[in-house]
Amino acid sequence: MAELVVLGFKDMTTADEAIKDLQSMQSEGLITLVDWARVIRRPDGKTDIHQAVGTTGAGAAGGALWGMIFGLIFLIPIAGLVIGAATGALMGKLSDYGIDDKFIKGLGEAITPGTSALFLQVQNTTVDKVTERMQKYEPTILRSSLTEENEEKLRAAMQGS
């Protein structure tokens, strides 16, 4: 089962640095991220949200493929491609995969201006190696779906104690 962990950072750039490191760890097989989102709260209070998976684009690509296949069957591949892409994009936009968008936006608006946060949906991880590499970012655990005991262990590991 995937766990949700929300990490807070003291400035607006650290979340972007941390996600690059997490993606590197994912390619090394140290962590499996189902989804992630980065939120920056600017000093003026506005939020900037970036999610790993864009459902509109993924839906358009899938719809285009299926539309092309059906178009080939009925001898109108270009029309099938266009109709499939449009339908897929609409379905992707209406779908919400991974971390709930309302949760991201709500918590993003609650963090201190001038800071950032990472929302991570983690399938599995090599805890000791990942926490060791994340310590340099000095994250604060804002929320998690972990048990209290495991969350406390994660806090201690992130602080290097």
Q: Strand, coil or helix: what is 2?
A: coil
Does this model's pTM top 0.85? My answer is no
Share of the chain above pLDDT 70, in %: 68
Contact 14, 115 (CB under 8 A): no
Residue 16 has a pLDDT of 95
- At the topology level, CATH places domain 3-53+100-158 in hypothetical protein tt1634 (3.40.1520)
The residues near 12 (Cβ < 8 Å, ≥ 6 apart) are 40, 41, 42, 114, 115, 116
What DSSP string describes 125-139? Answer: E-HHHHHHHHGGG--
pLDDT in tens, 83-134: 555 555 545 544 445 688 888 888 888 899 999 999 998 888 888 899 899 9
Q: For residues 65 and 85, what is the distance between their CA atoms, to the nearest angstrom?
A: 8
Q: What angle do CA 23, 105, 2 make, to 5 degrees?
A: 45
Domain ranges of the chain: 3-53+100-158, 55-94
Closest among 2, 4, 25 to 119, alpha carbons compared: 4
- Residue 34 scores a pLDDT above 50: yes
The residues near 151 (Cβ < 8 Å, ≥ 6 apart) are 141, 144
Chain centroid, CA 13 distance in Å: 16
